[in-house]
Amino acid sequence: MEIIPAVDLMNGEVVRLVRGDPNLRRSYRHLGDPISVARRWSLEGADLIHVVDLDAALGLGSNMESVKKIIESVETPVQVGGGIRSLPAARSLLEGGAQRVVLGSMAFEKVEAIKTLIREYGDERIVVALDHLKGEVLIKGWRATARLKVEDALTRFLNVGVKLFLVTSVSRDGTMEGPDIETLSKIRVSHPDACLIAAGGIRSLDDIAALKRVGVHGVVIGTALYEGSFTLRDALKIDGRGMVLAKRIIPCLDVDHGRVVKGVHFVNLRYAGDPVELGKRYSDEGADELVFLDITASPEKREILKEVVRAVASELNIPFTVGGGIRSVEDARAVLCNGADKVSVNTAAVERPQLVKELSETFGRQCVVVAIDAKRRYEVRPDRVVVQSGEGACWFEVYTYGGRKPTGIDAIQWAETVANLGAGELLVTSMDRDGTEDGYDLELTRSISEAVRIPVIASGGAGKPEHLLEAFTVGGADAALAASIFHYNKYPIPLVKKFLHERGVPVRL
């Protein structure tokens, strides 16, 4: 199933309308110009980008220059709709690089032109728009009726060689009230040869999974992406059965000589509990995994406390990741033999990157987590990945030895390096947010999530359930790690999962 983000243009800006009403318009100019937004969707892996010139569709003007620039600026195929009402206009777009053109009014008024376009360019590049309200097809910017039911229109255009249809529920478009599953299911049965692209009302990953079960060819997603209901990366992870990969909630045990501690910005540590007791509690409460970090092993250049690892592991029935002081394949093997399911490396990987490859080749990449402790740097450098944030342009520097030693390494570049070396997962901790309970560093999490194709665990700053929600919907994380809110029982794991589930985030309950 094609996952297709929408880029709707009006007055040179990316906007979203509600039910096609220009008076109910929301601008997303804060996300950048149309070309920047399209590039973002392209970089995140969109199968196709759906660009609509709303001004042209409504007879209010044209955004054709922006449309052309988007086509030229992204590697992802682009389908273009809105105000294409002549054969020369459609040909110009197709010759100019558009993968597909979406035709509404023109299709109903000039059927012979549709036949000509299919003959010249093939049925994979021509899409007929079936925008409907209560089953009636609308044309001319949804201001007039075609006097045809959706089913009758499908029959007519299938008979002239059309294969692809964009089916939009006008009453749901822009509302995030859920797609019109009933209509789509009905026409999938009555017209099985039609390839349907669904649009209108998408609000959650469950909606996408439901559409996949219906058997649609693709889905156009607009408002839900722009409002952060979920990320494009998550939408692309819908698997072959239409199931959504669950987000993981991971408590973390920072262990200092056998005691669980918690600090702020990696310092001012205070006692938080016994690792065995906390581990058992989290396992019983429904945590998806547990992370155990011996935070003083690397600074003290000693081995991890294997007897403590073994004691914690004996109380768990969930995956267990252990890190701290692992400098070799032999160290990792010892930890795995004492009950760990995965090993986490940080300092040793920075000092000898080949360790990541060795671990991956020996145990499989599913066992290898690379931890990245990063801090913002506002001295912008041309050889660093610069990220724009509310506090200004910055880059993220990797720290080692439990946050004690700056390395000068760019965190985003390092994430890409270790992913290529065989890391199976990244544990990304913001040193600026650690222990503050002010929320995750979403720019850091999102930048790394977009840069790699392996799971990313957000860490550092969780203070309430809303912060975990942001890590998933804004930060694009696959899992969220937290300590303080769980250690001191501010928000028990079941409560956090219930909160996320009620807001459309897939979690294991």
Report the chain's C-alpha Rg in angstroms. 26
Q: Is 33 a catalytic residue?
A: no
Quote the pLDDT of residue 241.
Answer: 40
Listed in sequence order, the residues at least 6 apart from 268 whose beta carbon sits closer than 8 Å to its beta carbon are: none
Is the pLDDT at 329 greater than 90? The verdict is yes
What residue ranges do the domains of the chain occupy? 2-235, 248-502
The residue count for the chain: 509
Could you check whether 2-235 and 248-502 share the same CATH topology?
yes
- What rounded mean pLDDT belongs to the chain? 92
Burial of 459 (0-12, 13-18, 19+ CB in 10 A): buried
87-96, 120-129, 294-303: which has the minimum mean pLDDT?
Answer: 294-303
Encode pLDDT of 48-57 as tens digits.
999 999 999 9
The CATH fold assigned to 248-502 is TIM Barrel (3.20.20)
Q: What is the mean pLDDT of residues 285-295?
A: 95
User: Confidence class of residue 331 from pLDDT cuts 50, 70 and 90?
Assistant: very high
Q: What is the mean pLDDT of residues 10-23?
A: 94
Burial of 470 (0-12, 13-18, 19+ CB in 10 A): buried
CA gap 168, 147 in Å, rounded: 16
Quote the pLDDT of residue 258.
Answer: 84
Is the pLDDT at 374 greater than 70? The verdict is yes
Quote the pLDDT of residue 265.
Answer: 66
Quote the pLDDT of residue 83.
Answer: 93
Q: Is 373 a catalytic residue?
A: yes
User: For residues 4 and 220, is the Cβ–Cβ distance under 8 A?
Assistant: yes
pTM for the model: 0.61
Encode pLDDT of 146-190 as tens digits.
999 999 999 999 999 999 999 999 999 999 999 999 999 999 889
* pLDDT, greater one: 312 or 259: 312
67-81, 201-215, 293-307: which has the minimum mean pLDDT?
Answer: 293-307
Angle at 33 between CA 28 and CA 38, to 5 degrees: 90
Percent of the chain with pLDDT over 70: 97
Encode pLDDT of 206-254 as tens digits.
899 889 888 899 999 999 999 888 888 888 877 444 445 789 999 999 9
Q: What is the mean pLDDT of residues 463-486?
A: 93
Is the pLDDT at 298 greater than 80? The verdict is no
Is the pLDDT at 359 greater than 80? The verdict is yes
| Sign of the alpha-carbon dihedral angle for 237, 241, 244, 246 | negative
Q: Which of 8, 294, 331, 373 is catalytic?
A: 373
User: Confidence class of residue 297 from pLDDT cuts 50, 70 and 90?
Assistant: confident
User: Confidence class of residue 268 from pLDDT cuts 50, 70 and 90?
Assistant: low
* 2-235 to CATH, choices 3.30.70.260, 3.60.20.10, 3.30.379.10, 3.20.20.70: 3.20.20.70
User: Confidence class of residue 302 from pLDDT cuts 50, 70 and 90?
Assistant: confident
Q: What is the mean pLDDT of residues 134-146?
A: 90
Is the pLDDT at 90 greater than 70? The verdict is yes
User: For residues 41 and 4, is the Cβ–Cβ distance under 8 A?
Assistant: no
Quote the pLDDT of residue 240.
Answer: 45
Is the pLDDT at 360 greater than 90? The verdict is yes
Q: Pick from 266-270, 377-381, 414-418 the range whose average pLDDT is largest.
A: 414-418
Q: Which of 8, 254, 331, 410 is catalytic?
A: 254
CA gap 263, 432 in Å, rounded: 12
